[in-house]
Structures are given as structure tokens and as C-alpha cells.
């Protein structure tokens, strides 16, 4: 078992990575909790034992369930059961579950403690780490949320063995991102080590900028276009697949703006290709719509804003010209 600390002062917690990590739930349960509300989805067969009175609450499947209606329903069910501020919410599932249940925990009784048990690769390397919880609006992804750190995160890599291949590949999109944030040696690691290394990179960034006042924005590398593709709603893309396209896009954009050379772009393409992820926009991509959606991104400052590679490494860049963005998008159409 690999333990990765997330150093946040009195809100610090550990991320446990390895086979069977979910069986350590009782050890990491917050002191004083006498009830555990386990939030999951119908298709997730990952039993957990909190060692206290527990009840399972099942939310809907997929991104459509990641909304305010689900949060309200969860909170109402918590209330009817009698969950108190001293108890705990346990989120068991992928990023949709941990984002939604974590946000419900943040707002119920103005904040109850929670533990994340991510069961997908995407959840283990990214979504469940760092305390960003939230849900979507029709206008965009993650526009309503809260910074609410968990008490612990249990990344049980045994749960990845039964993931559908495409769901696993979606997680590889986030893993590909970490290659450009200090994870160049990921290719030489086994699965547990890869997950732990991604967690460690994210934990270090979160510890330096918990509420995304500056540096934490680099964790959104590739996500601005990725989120726009998801928000558009009519492309057959999982989150990690959309992020993979976004990684190639920001590399091409950075080259167009003179920030990196062609060799660095080719490196992005090689990493994405090694994970067997898409690199081009869908043939029917609506570039005007994508530019509009990227302009609505909650991280947008002074016009179009992207996280781009450059001489000083990956950093947030504001005021990018729409004409440059449109030119790169058109060049990436399959």
C-alpha cells in the first residue's frame, strides 16, 4: 500500500493507493462518526464496510445525474435518515459520484465530513483528489461547487480490473496530462506506482494553491477544449478522450503562439498516441460553438484563457486571440 499525504494544515489527509485500499475505510473514518451515508450508483458493485451504522444511497448514472437536482435529493434523503453534522458521507464510484456526493457533503448542514472511494482510473488519478466538488449546469461543467476536502481517499486499484475498456481509457486521458506536469517517468511504473505518482503531483499542486488562486490552474491542462466538447453534448467522447484531444490542441496552440517548438508538439502527440487516445476533433465539430463554450469556461479571464506549455513550463495564459484558436481547431478537424 502506498500512502500519499495531501498537506493542507489542519485539513491534511492521506490518499491510500493499492489493491484492497477500500478495506481500510474503518481506519480512516473521521473520529466521532456514528453513521455513514454511502453514495454510489446502481452499476457499481464495490461493497464497503464503514464499521458503523451505514445506509446506501443510489444516485443516477452518467453526467446527467451530476446536477443540483441530485444534490437536493441526496440531502433530503440524508435528512430523512437523520444524518448529522458529526457523521460522514462515503462516496463510492467514479468522478461523477465523488464530485456530486462531495458537494452534497459540503452543503448538507453547512458541511459534513466525507471520504472518497474512487472506483475508476479517472477518479483515482484526478477527480477524487484535491477537494474540488461540484455539479454541472446546462451552460457548462462544474459551474456550481465548493472546495471541500475529504477526510481520506482510498484508491483501491483492484476495482480497476473490472472497468469497461473505454472507461479505463478515459482515465488514461488524465494520466496523459500528468506526463507534462512532472510525470515524465510514468511509463516506467507499474499501475499502483502510476496512480500514486499522479496523486502525488496533484497533491503537491493542491497544497501550494488549494483554492485555485493561481498555480492550481495547471491541473486543467487540456481541459478547456475538453470541457467544451463535453458541454456541447453531441460528440461521442468520454471525459478522458475529450481531454486527450484538448492536450493536443493546447500544444498546437502553444506552438502557433511561439511558446514551444514542433518537437514539443510531437511529444504531446506521442504520449496521447501511446495511450491509444484520440488526437483530432470529431469530423462534425462546430468550431464556432466550441470557441463560444470555451469563452464561458469558469477559469476564463480577460477573454479566452488557456493553460499552455511554454519556456517556463505549463502555465495559465489569458487574452488568447479567437482567430488563433479557430485556426488551430480547423487544423485539427479529422
The rounded distance, in Å, linking the Cα atoms of 183 and 126 is: 13
Q: How far apart are CA 187 and CA 282, in angstroms?
A: 28
Alpha helices in 275-306 (DSSP H): 287-295
Task: Establish whether 80 is a catalytic residue.
Answer: no
- Phi and psi, residue 269, nearest 5°: -65, -40
Q: Which of 96, 240, 94, 251 is nearest to 176 (CA)?
A: 240
234 is catalytic: no
Active site residue 132: yes
179 in active site: no
**What is d(CA 334, CA 329) in angstroms, rounded to the nearest whole number?**
10
Catalytic residue among 239, 255, 259, 268: 239
Q: How many CB atoms lie within 10 A of CB 165?
A: 8
| 3-state SS, one letter per residue, for 70-114 | HHHHHHHHHHHHCCCCCCEEEEEECHHHHHHHHHHHHHHHHCCEE
212 catalytically annotated = yes
- Check: CB of residue 257 under 8 Å from CB of residue 222: no
Buried b (16+ CB within 10 A) or exposed e, 245-254: bbbbbbbbbb
- Report the alpha-carbon distance of residue 280 to residue 278 in Å, rounded: 6
In the set 141, 177, 197, 220, the catalytic residue is: 220
Which candidate in 227, 238, 259, 268 is catalytic? 227
Query: Residue 135 pairs with which residues in a beta bridge?
Result: 144
Grid cell 517556463 — which residue?
A: 312
Catalytic residue among 22, 223, 238, 268: 223
Catalytic residue among 179, 194, 202, 268: 202
The C-alpha atoms of residue 73 and residue 143 are separated, in whole angstroms, by 19
Q: Please state, as a whole number, how many other Cβ atoms lie within 10 Å of the Cβ of residue 173.
A: 30
Q: Which of 113, 132, 169, 177 is catalytic?
A: 132
Active-site residue (options: 174, 230, 252, 255) = 174
Q: Indicate which residue of 141, 216, 238, 259 is catalytic.
A: 216
Q: How far apart are CA 320 and CA 189, in angstroms?
A: 36
Catalytic option among 113, 169, 179, 212 = 212
223 catalytic? Reply is yes
Q: Any catalytic annotation for residue 136? A: no
Residue 60 contacts residue 86 (beta carbons within 8 Å): no
User: Is 109 assigned a catalytic role?
Assistant: no
Catalytic residues: 110, 132, 174, 202, 212, 216, 220, 223, 227, 239
Amino acid at each position: 500500500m502506498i500512502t500519499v499525504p495531501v498537506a493542507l494544515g489542519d485539513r491534511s489527509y492521506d490518499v491510500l493507493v493499492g489493491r484492497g485500499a477500500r478495506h481500510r475505510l474503518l481506519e480512516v473514518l473521521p473520529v466521532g462518526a456514528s453513521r455513514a451515508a454511502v453514495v454510489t450508483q446502481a452499476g457499481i458493485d464495490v461493497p464497503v464496510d464503514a464499521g458503523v451504522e451505514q445506509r446506501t444511497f443510489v444516485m443516477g448514472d452518467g453526467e446527467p445525474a451530476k446536477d443540483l437536482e441530485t444534490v437536493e435529493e441526496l440531502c433530503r434523503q440524508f435528512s430523512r435518515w437523520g444524518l448529522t453534522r458529526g457523521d460522514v458521507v462515503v462516496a463510492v464510484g467514479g468522478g461523477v459520484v465523488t464530485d456530486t456526493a462531495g458537494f452534497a457533503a459540503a452543503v448538507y448542514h453547512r458541511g459534513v465530513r466525507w471520504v472518497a472511494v474512487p472506483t475508476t482510473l479517472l477518479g483515482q488519478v484526478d477527480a477524487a483528489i484535491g477537494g474540488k466538488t461540484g455539479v454541472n449546469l446546462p451552460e457548462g461543467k462544474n459551474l456550481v461547487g465548493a472546495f471541500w476536502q475529504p477526510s481520506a481517499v482510498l484508491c483501491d486499484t483492484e476495482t480497476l480490473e473490472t472497468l469497461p475498456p473505454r472507461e479505463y481509457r478515459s482515465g488514461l486521458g488524465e494520466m496523459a496530462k500528468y506526463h507534462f506536469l512532472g510525470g515524465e517517468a510514468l511509463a516506467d511504473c507499474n499501475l499502483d506506482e502510476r496512480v500514486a505518482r499522479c496523486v502525488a503531483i496533484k497533491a503537491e499542486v493542491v497544497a501550494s494553491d488549494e483554492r485555485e488562486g493561481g498555480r492550481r490552474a495547471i491541473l486543467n491542462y487540456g481541459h478547456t477544449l475538453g470541457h467544451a466538447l463535453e458541454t456541447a453534448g453531441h460528440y461521442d467522447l468520454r471525459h478522458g478522450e475529450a481531454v486527450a484531444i484538448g492536450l493536443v490542441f493546447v500544444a498546437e496552440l502553444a506552438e502557433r503562439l511561439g511558446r514551444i517548438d514542433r518537437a514539443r508538439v510531437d511529444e504531446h502527440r506521442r504520449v496521447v498516441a501511446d495511450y491509444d487516445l484520440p488526437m483530432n476533433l470529431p469530423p462534425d465539430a462546430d468550431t464556432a460553438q466550441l470557441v463560444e463554450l470555451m469563452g464561458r469556461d469558469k477559469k476564463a479571464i480577460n477573454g479566452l484563457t488557456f493553460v499552455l506549455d511554454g519556456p517556463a513550463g505549463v502555465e495559465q495564459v489569458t487574452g488568447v486571440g479567437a482567430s488563433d484558436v479557430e485556426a488551430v481547431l480547423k487544423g485539427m478537424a479529422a
